[in-house]
Chains A and B, each alone.
Chain A
Amino acid sequence: MNSVRNTILERLSQAEKTVCPDLPGIPPLPHLAMNREELTETFVRNLQEQSAEVHRVNGFEELRSTLATAIKENNLTRICVSEDDFMKSLDLESLSNDSSITFSKPSDFKDKTIYKEMVFNVDAGLTSVDFAVAESGTLIIRHCKENARLLSLAPLIHLVVVRQTTLVPVYESALKQLLETSGLPSQLTFITGPSMTADIMATPFRGMHGPRRLVVILLDDSMETQHIR
Chain B
Amino acid sequence: MDVKTESYVAEAKKELVNPSSRMFLDFFLPVLSAVREIGLSSFPDPQAAVERARAIRRQSVGRLGELLETFERNAMKAGAKVFWAKTAADANMYIRDLINRHKIPYVTKGKSMITEEMGLNDVLAKNGTPVYETDLGEFIIQLLEKPPFHIIGPAINIPTDEICRIFMERAGMENPTNDPVALGQAARDFLRDKFKHMQMGITGVNMAVAETGSIINVENEGNIRFNKSAPAIQVSVMSIEKIVASLDEALHMLRMLCRNGTGQKLTSYVTVDTGPRKTDEMDGPEELHIIIMDNGRSKIYENPKTREVLQCIRCGACINICPVFRQIGGYPYGWAYTGPIGKLLNPLLLGLDRTSDLYGACTLCNACKNVCPAGIDHPSMILYFRNRNMEQDQVLNGKGATFSERFFANTAGIAGSYPILWNTATTIGKTAVSRFGSGHPLVKAWTEKRAFPPMPKKTYRDIRKK
Question: What B residues does A148 contact at CB under 8 A?
Answer: 281-283
* A149 touching B222 in the complex, CB below 8 Å, given contacts A9-B68, A27-B45: no
Render A112-125 as a binary contact track against B, CB cut-off 8 A, 1 for contact. Answer: 10011101100000
Complex-state Cα separation, A219 to B21, whole angstroms: 48
Decide: A187 and B181 in contact? CB cutoff 8 A: no
* A199 touching B135 in the complex, CB below 8 Å, given contacts A18-B307, A192-B265, A205-B181: yes
Q: Answer yes or no: A202 CB below 8 A from chain B CBs.
A: yes
What size tier do the contact residues of chain A reach? Answer: 35 or more
Render A124-167 as a binary contact track against B, CB cut-off 8 A, 1 for contact. Answer: 00000000000111100001110011100100000000000000
Render B36-55 as a binary contact track against A, CB cut-off 8 A, 1 for contact. Answer: 00000001110011011001
Q: Answer yes or no: A16 CB below 8 A from chain B CBs.
A: yes
Complex-state Cα separation, A209 to B58, whole angstroms: 36
Complex-state Cα separation, A144 to B281, whole angstroms: 6
Decide: B228 and A187 in contact? CB cutoff 8 A: yes
Complex-state Cα separation, A120 to B181, whole angstroms: 21
* A18 touching B222 in the complex, CB below 8 Å, given contacts A145-B281, A184-B272, A209-B192: no
Q: Answer yes or no: B466 CB below 8 A from chain A CBs.
A: no
Q: Answer yes or no: A66 CB below 8 A from chain B CBs.
A: no
List which B179-206 residues lie within 8 A (CB) of chain A.
Answer: 180-181, 183-185, 187-188, 191-192, 195-196
Question: What A residues does B247 contact at CB under 8 A?
Answer: 175, 179
Complex-state Cα separation, A203 to B85, whole angstroms: 39
Complex-state Cα separation, A162 to B194, whole angstroms: 32
Q: Answer yes or no: B4 CB below 8 A from chain A CBs.
A: no
Q: Answer yes or no: B437 CB below 8 A from chain A CBs.
A: no
Contact partner, A18, options B62, B135, B154, Cβ 8 Å: B62
Decide: A186 and B276 in contact? CB cutoff 8 A: yes
A50: nearest residue on chain B (CB-CB)? B268
Decide: B163 and A143 in contact? CB cutoff 8 A: no
* A186 touching B273 in the complex, CB below 8 Å, given contacts A172-B251, A209-B188, A210-B221: yes
Contact partner, A197, options B63, B184, B229, Cβ 8 Å: B184
Decide: A24 and B226 in contact? CB cutoff 8 A: no
Q: Answer yes or no: B12 CB below 8 A from chain A CBs.
A: no
Decide: B220 and A196 in contact? CB cutoff 8 A: yes
Q: Answer yes or no: A169 CB below 8 A from chain B CBs.
A: no
17 chain-A/chain-B pairs, Cβ below 8 angstroms = A5-B84, A9-B68, A12-B298, A18-B62, A20-B55, A27-B44, A116-B196, A138-B266, A144-B280, A145-B280, A149-B284, A171-B251, A175-B251, A184-B212, A187-B274, A187-B284, A202-B24
**B interface with A by C-beta (< 8 Å):** 24, 28, 43-45, 48-49, 51-52, 55-56, 58-59, 61-66, 68-69, 72, 78, 83-86, 90, 134-137, 140, 153-156, 158-160, 163, 180-181, 183-185, 187-188, 191-192, 195-196, 212, 214, 220-223, 225-226, 228-230, 240, 247-249, 251, 254, 264-278, 280-284, 292, 294, 298-299, 301-302, 304, 307
Apart from A11-B299, A27-B45, what are 14 other A-B pairs with CB-CB below 8 Å? A20-B59, A135-B265, A138-B266, A153-B229, A184-B214, A190-B269, A190-B272, A192-B268, A196-B221, A199-B153, A200-B163, A200-B183, A202-B24, A210-B268
Top 9 nearest A-B pairs by Cβ distance? Answer: A210-B222, A12-B65, A203-B180, A209-B222, A136-B265, A199-B137, A205-B184, A20-B62, A190-B270
